[in-house]
């Protein structure tokens, strides 16, 4: 289900209204944070405006902010930039965007910065200005306020340099010493956990495309190939889909992380440049992003197309554990319940010491999506949430690493798996044998 530009702008506007309804006092100044979720990009501003820019900022003022005095601070009678700047009109939303630089000859770039008009049409924010206007509007907005909401999406890391966005927040606090700072990110993340129909369809499409690419890799890669070939094929398959003109916003969301044999028994192996041997299992962790929404799939398969007896035994244990854990994915269920079901099954087969990972995380605009302030203690599942469920077994002493990761949509009464390559042993071997 694709939305028109008008419908998408209306969707963003509704999200901003929902956030303002949760602001009991003060104003919100939402800039993109240098500390995104689990080292990913911060997408809270994109969620509220559709603008994907490292420099854009949004002011939300439930009681309104005057859009006057922008052109000449303190001289409100100047109206050179438009009559609204001089008549004291109150607005609740103001978006500031960087101005696109002049094109250089016929140079082609991947993504251009949206103009003020384009940002206005995309976001539905009526008051859109250049970044140079922001300081004065923010200064005027804070004149009589006691509370400033800021966007800090992930817990700051102690012992590390202070990120630039927090330096900026501290600079505001130093000047407006009476301000109380509050974090708006958990409120945005709470909204992001429950997906709208448009978001679910974008995520489903991202999973479908990821599935198609992984299946090509499973059919193509053979013993003697290098892990780098798998990565190169991923890039080819992704970019060739862009060439068809069907996908306006398709990119890699994560990975691909590719490893084989003993290297697959190390969690998140990044080098991806070694030869795949006969008898190895190949492990891939990857996902594409479609219209900004990510997929996250992991699969493991035998390089020669046939599981060894030991690989088959471990894979069967892991698959059964995943199927058991999926029983917890329903409204009211929890990640903790899913983890316990997996752990108990691993312990039954005496492989629990090889189980790694937290097993589940939300998926959306980020691969590891919203609500990382609740890391490890998520609230019970709700309908229309999308989670990645990823039990794994990493046996370094045997040189075997297996991970099964699927997208799970919570629906009334249960769950629905997002598109992904087959998980059953016979189907995996059949797919590998098609090449």
From 64-68, 110-114, 371-375, 381-385, the region with the lowest mean pLDDT: 371-375
Q: For a pLDDT cut of 70, what percent of the chain falls above it?
A: 87
Residue environment code for 187-203, b if the CB has 16+ CB neighbours within 10 A, otherwise e: bbbbbbbbbeebbbbbb
76 pLDDT more than 50: no
Element (H, E) at 256: strand 250-260
Task: State pLDDT tens for residues 127-176.
Answer: 898 888 888 889 888 988 999 999 998 877 788 888 888 889 999 999 99
Residue 386 confidence (pLDDT): 97
The answer, yes or no, to whether the previous bond of 256 is cis (omega within 30 of 0) is yes
Q: Residue 425's pLDDT is what?
A: 96
Q: Yes or no: say if 119 and 56 are a contact pair by the CB < 8 Å rule.
A: yes
Is 110's pLDDT higher than 50? Answer: no
pLDDT band at 415 (very low <50, low <70, confident <90, very high): very high
Does residue 297 carry a pLDDT above 90? yes
User: What is the pLDDT, as a whole number, of residue 106?
Assistant: 53
Instruction: Please state, in angstroms and rounded to a whole number, the distance separating the CA atoms of residues 214 and 295.
Output: 12
Q: Do 362 and 370 meet the contact criterion of CB atoms below 8 Å apart? A: yes
Residue pointed to by tokens 């679910």 = 200
Q: Which two tokens stand for residue 350?
A: 């005496």
Distance CA 160, CA 154 (A): 14
| Predicted pLDDT of residue 377 | 64
Burial of 322 (0-12, 13-18, 19+ CB in 10 A): buried
* pLDDT above 80: residue 248: no
More confident residue, 271 or 340: 340
- Asked whether residue 374 carries a pLDDT value surpassing 70, the answer given is no
In this predicted model, what pLDDT tens digit does every residue of 186-223 receive, in sequence order? 999 999 999 999 999 999 999 999 999 999 999 999 99
Output phi, psi for 150, to 5 deg.
-125, 165
The predicted model gives 49-65 an average pLDDT of 90
Residue 10, Cα to own-chain centre: how many angstroms? 22
pLDDT at 273: 83
Tokens 């894979």 found at: 315
What is the average per-residue pLDDT within 404-432? Answer: 96
Q: Band of the pLDDT at 79, cuts 50, 70, 90? A: very low
Q: Domain 5-192: which topology?
A: Creatine Amidinohydrolase; Chain A, domain 1 (3.40.350)
Q: Which of 95-104, 246-255, 371-380 has the lowest mean pLDDT?
A: 371-380
Of 196, 189, 210, 192, nearest in space to 405 by CA: 210
Q: 188: closest CA among 44, 54, 43, 59?
A: 44
Q: Tell me, what's the pLDDT at 357?
A: 66
Q: Rounded to an integer, what distance in angstroms lies between the CA atom of residue 343 and that of residue 325? A: 9
Model confidence at 1, pLDDT cuts 50, 70, 90, reads: low
Task: Tell which wins on pLDDT, 434 or 153.
Answer: 153
Q: Tell me if the pTM is above 0.75.
A: yes
> Which range in 10-24, 41-55, 140-154, 421-435 is most confidently predicted, on average pLDDT?
10-24
Give phi and psi for 114, each to the nearest 5: -65, 145
**What is the β-pairing status of strands 293-294 and 281-290?**
antiparallel
**Contacts (Cβ under 8 Å, ≥6 apart) of 167:** none
Query: In the chain, where are the structural domains located?
Result: 5-192, 194-432
* Listed range (61-75, 253-267, 375-389) with the worst mean pLDDT: 61-75
| pLDDT digits 0-9 by tens, 323-347 | 999 999 999 999 989 999 999 999 9
pLDDT confidence of residue 74: 47
For 349, residues 6+ apart whose C-beta sits below 8 A from its C-beta are 317
Distance CA 274, CA 257 (A): 13
Q: Can you state the angle between helices 197-220 and 425-432, rounded to 10 degrees? A: 60
Q: Does residue 372 surpass a pLDDT of 70?
A: no
- Whether the CB-CB separation of 359 and 389 falls below 8 Å is answered with yes
**Domain 194-432 in this protein, CATH class:** alpha beta
φ, ψ for residue 105, nearest 5 deg: 60, -130
| pLDDT on residue 217 | 96
């Amino acid at each position: 289900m694709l939305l028109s530009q008008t419908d998408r702008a209306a969707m963003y506007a509704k999200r901003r209204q929902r956030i303002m309804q949760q602001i009991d006092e003060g104003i919100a100044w939402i800039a993109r944070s240098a500390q995104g979720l689990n080292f990913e990009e911060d997408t809270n501003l994109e969620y509220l405006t559709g603008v994907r820019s490292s420099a854009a900022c949004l002011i939300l003022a439930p009681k309104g902010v005057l859009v006057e005095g922008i052109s000449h601070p303190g001289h409100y009678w100047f109206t050179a930039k438009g009559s609204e700047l001089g008549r004291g009109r109150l607005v609740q939303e103001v978006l500031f965007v960087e101005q696109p630089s002049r094109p250089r000859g016929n140079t082609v770039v991947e993504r251009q910065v949206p103009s003020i008009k384009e940002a206005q049409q995309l976001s539905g924010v009526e008051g859109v200005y250049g970044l140079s206007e922001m300081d004065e509007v923010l200064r005027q907005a804070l004149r009589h306020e006691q509370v400033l909401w800021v966007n800090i999406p992930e817990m700051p890391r102690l012992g590390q340099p202070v990120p630039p966005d927090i330096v900026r927040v501290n600079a505001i606090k130093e000047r407006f010493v009476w301000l109380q700072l509050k974090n708006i990110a958990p409120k945005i993340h709470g909204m992001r956990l429950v997906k709208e129909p448009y978001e679910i369809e974008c995520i489903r499409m991202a999973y479908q495309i990821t599935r198609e690419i992984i299946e090509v890799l499973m059919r193509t890669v053979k013993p003697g190939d290098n892990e780098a070939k798998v990565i190169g094929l991923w890039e080819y398959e992704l970019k060739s889909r862009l060439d068809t003109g069907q996908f306006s916003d398709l990119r890699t969301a994560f990975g691909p992380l590719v490893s084989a044999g003993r290297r697959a028994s190390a969690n998140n192996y990044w080098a991806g440049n070694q030869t795949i041997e006969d008898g190895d299992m190949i492990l891939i962790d990857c996902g594409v992003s479609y219209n900004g929404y990510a997929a996250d799939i992991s699969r493991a398969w035998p390089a020669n197309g046939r599981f060894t007896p030991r690989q088959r035994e471990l894979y069967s244990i892991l698959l059964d554990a995943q199927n058991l854990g999926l029983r917890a994915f329903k409204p009211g269920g929890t990640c903790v319940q899913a983890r316990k079901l997996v752990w108990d099954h691993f312990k039954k087969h005496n492989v629990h010491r090889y189980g790694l990972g937290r097993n589940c995380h939300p998926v959306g605009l980020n691969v590891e999506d919203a609500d990382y302030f609740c890391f490890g203690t998520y609230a019970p599942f709700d309908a229309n949430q999308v989670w990645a469920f990823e039990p794994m077994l990493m046996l370094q002493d045997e040189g075997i690493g297996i991970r099964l990761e699927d997208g799970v949509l919570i629906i009334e009464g249960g769950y629905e798996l997002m598109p992904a390559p087959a998980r059953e042993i016979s189907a995996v071997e059949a797919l590998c044998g098609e090449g």
